[in-house]
Structure 1
Amino acid sequence: MENLHIVFWLLKDVGWCMIWKPLGLTMIVPTLAIAVVIAWRTRHLASELAHNLAIVLWISANSYWMISEFFGFDTVQFGHGITGKHLALIPFTLGLLVLAYYYLVQKPRESRGTQVATL
């Protein structure tokens, strides 16, 4: 499933690069769906879940950015110099926050738990 996920992701990005809207737009659904399934399947492992959620958010941001370019609102100003493309920073930032939480909070807790268990 993970290998097929990469194929869909690459097809989506090829569609974006070549401005083949039908391919790019169609590939959002299987790429994102498989990413969500992978995250769900790894939900019991904090490290895997954090990274896979970050990937779901990355694909979401990437797909939104592609859509904004395809439909021409990537350069539309929403105020204070923020354009349609800049709104992709929301899911990108959420993905970074998920990883920051894992590395700054969750992983140190796991490490302390392992140290206590071995004493």
Structure 2
Amino acid sequence: MENMHIVFWLLKDIGWCMLWKPLGLSMIVPTLTIALIITWRTRSMKAELAHNLAIVFWISANSYWMISEFIGFDTARVWGEITGKHLALIPFFTGLVILLYYYLVQKPREHRAEQVATL
């Protein structure tokens, strides 16, 4: 499943790069669906969950950005200097915050728990 996920993701980005709207748009659902399934299956492992959630948000941001370019609102101003494309930063930053939390809070907590367990 993880290997097929990569194929769908590449096809989505090739469709975006080549401006093949039907290919790019049709690959959003399978790419995101498989990413969500992988995330659900790894939810019991905190490191995997954090990374897979970040991937889900990355694919979401990437897909939104592609749609904004395809439909043509990527350069439309939403608020001040912020354009439609810039709204993709919300899921990008969400994924980043999840990873920062994992590396700055969760992983050190797990490391301390391991040290206490070995005493």
TM-score, normalised on structure 2?
A: 0.99
Aligned to 2:40: 40
Amino acid at match of 1:5: H
SS at match of 2:27: helix
Deviation at 1:12, TM superposition (A): 0.1
Deviation at 1:79, TM superposition (A): 1.7
Aligned to 2:60: 60
Q: Which runs of 5+ in 2 are unaligned?
A: none
SS at match of 2:87: helix
Q: Which consecutive segments of 4 or more residues in structure 1 shift more than 3 A?
A: none
Name the CA distance, whole Å, in 1 between partners of 2:80 and 2:95.
24
Q: Could you give the per-residue CA deviations for residues 44-92 of structure 1, whole angstroms, max 9, x where no partner exists?
A: 0000000000000000000000000000000000122000000000000
Name the CA distance, whole Å, in 2 between partners of 1:68 and 1:30.
19
Aligned to 1:111: 111
TM-score, normalised on structure 1?
A: 0.99
Superposition pairs for residues 5-44 of structure 1, below 5 Å?
A: 5-44=5-44
Amino acid at match of 1:23: L
Amino acid at match of 2:115: Q
Name the CA distance, whole Å, in 1 between partners of 2:101 and 2:37.
22
2:71 equivalent to 1:71: yes
Q: Could you give the per-residue CA deviations for residues 3-43 of structure 1, whole angstroms, max 9, x where no partner exists?
A: 00000000000000000000000000000000000000000
Q: How many residues align?
A: 119
Aligned to 1:84: 84
